[in-house]
A = this chain, B = another copy of it.
Amino acid sequence: MAGDPFFQPVSGLDLPRFAGVPTFMRLPYVDFDHPRFKDVTIGLVGAPWDGGTTNRPGPRHGPRQLRDLSTMIRAKNGVTWVAPFELQNCADLGDVSPNPADLMDSLARMEAFYDRLRVAGVRPLTGGGDHLCTLPILRGLAKGRKLGLVQFDSHTDLNDCYFGTGKYTHGTPFRRAMEEGLIDPARYVLVGIRGTAYGRDDWDYAAEQGIRIIGIEEFHKRGVDDVMAEVREIIGGGETYVTYDIDFVDPTFAPGTGTPEVGGPNSWQALQVARALRGANVVGADLVEVSPPFDQTGNTAWLAVNLMFEMLCVMAER
């Protein structure tokens, strides 16, 4: 087996999967001060914050449940046989520390954390947290370049404002990111959008900006292969960020989330769309909106960490 021995996960054939302090995918825990931090190439990060949530809170508890369930992940992809831990030095970098009592301070703390990763040359794979977390991540990673963006989601999160003053909520991050020039609209595509709507403002905004939205009816009609071929064409070979909102998946498969919309993709399709990014130039990715209070069984988190693993395999092959 190839790969740096230090950066290998603990095998369930040696230590049972229910044993041990749970880190992401049983990887070594390496914080900024750790002697091996300089060798990390992909960092798994928890973002335990849901300050942008407008309805049912809970994603602040996501990283812990994701880590717990991720101990059932093994070393190789059973479909593509990619072995990410042999290709890259992966580590659990711990959690970025939020301030639950101060939204703006939380945004600043998170941006600083990811800025540091960018500088260190570590590509992050984040477990959220709500979708507002993606804004400071993009701020930290973009820094003067416009990134391509693939967004798997049931909502556009391109809204402007809630409750009169709410410019920063989990329904607005990509409107802000667009305004701040973090995203290249020509290389920005959303997949899976559905649910009842207040209006069409977000769709109109996307159309004006040249952003491509693939709604759920189109998704179901065309199928995964056709849709993802278009997605890969849109993002091309440029630097791209992937944001995966768990509510992209049908809520029966992922009930542990705050704003579920029925009629979404099933679990196999959920895996396929991530796997289909193979070959893309992914500079970072996240899986957000897992809300443990709405699924204490861990079933949602189990699907979510499998999706994280699929994205990790894509990132590892770059």
- Are B78 and A194 in touch, CB under 8 angstroms? yes
A281 close to chain B: CB less than 8 A: no
- Are B100 and A163 in touch, CB under 8 angstroms? yes
Q: Which of A21-29, A176-184, A235-243 contacts B (4 or more CB under 8 A)?
A: A21-29
- Are B268 and A16 in touch, CB under 8 angstroms? no
Q: Which of A34-42, A55-63, A116-124 contacts B (4 or more CB under 8 A)?
A: A55-63
- Are A263 and B267 in touch, CB under 8 angstroms? yes
A185 close to chain B: CB less than 8 A: no
Who on chain B is nearest to A300 by CB?
A: B252
A255 close to chain B: CB less than 8 A: yes
Give the size range of A's interface with the partner: 35 or more
CB < 8 Å neighbour of A267 from B22, B52, B250: B250
A-side residues, CB < 8 A to B, are 11-23, 29, 46, 48, 50, 52-58, 60-61, 63-64, 67-68, 72-79, 81, 92, 94-95, 97-103, 105, 162-166, 168-169, 193-200, 215-217, 220, 250-253, 255, 259-260, 262-264, 266-268, 270-271, 293-294, 296-297, 299, 302-303, 306, 309
> Which residues of chain B come closer than 8 Å to A61, judged between CB atoms?
18, 56
CB < 8 Å neighbour of A293 from B92, B102, B293: B293
> Which residues of chain B come closer than 8 Å to A253, judged between CB atoms?
250, 252
The secondary structure that dominates the A interface is loop
19 A-B contacts (beta carbon < 8 Å)? A14-B97, A15-B97, A16-B100, A18-B61, A19-B98, A20-B94, A57-B58, A68-B68, A76-B199, A78-B197, A81-B197, A99-B164, A100-B162, A100-B166, A101-B168, A105-B163, A255-B299, A263-B268, A263-B306
- Are A54 and B101 in touch, CB under 8 angstroms? yes
CB < 8 Å neighbour of A264 from B68, B195, B268: B268
Who on chain B is nearest to A218 by CB?
A: B79
The residue in A16, A29, A56 that gathers the most chain B C-beta atoms within 10 A of its C-beta is A16
- Are B18 and A99 in touch, CB under 8 angstroms? no
> Which residues of chain B come closer than 8 Å to A197, judged between CB atoms?
74-78, 81
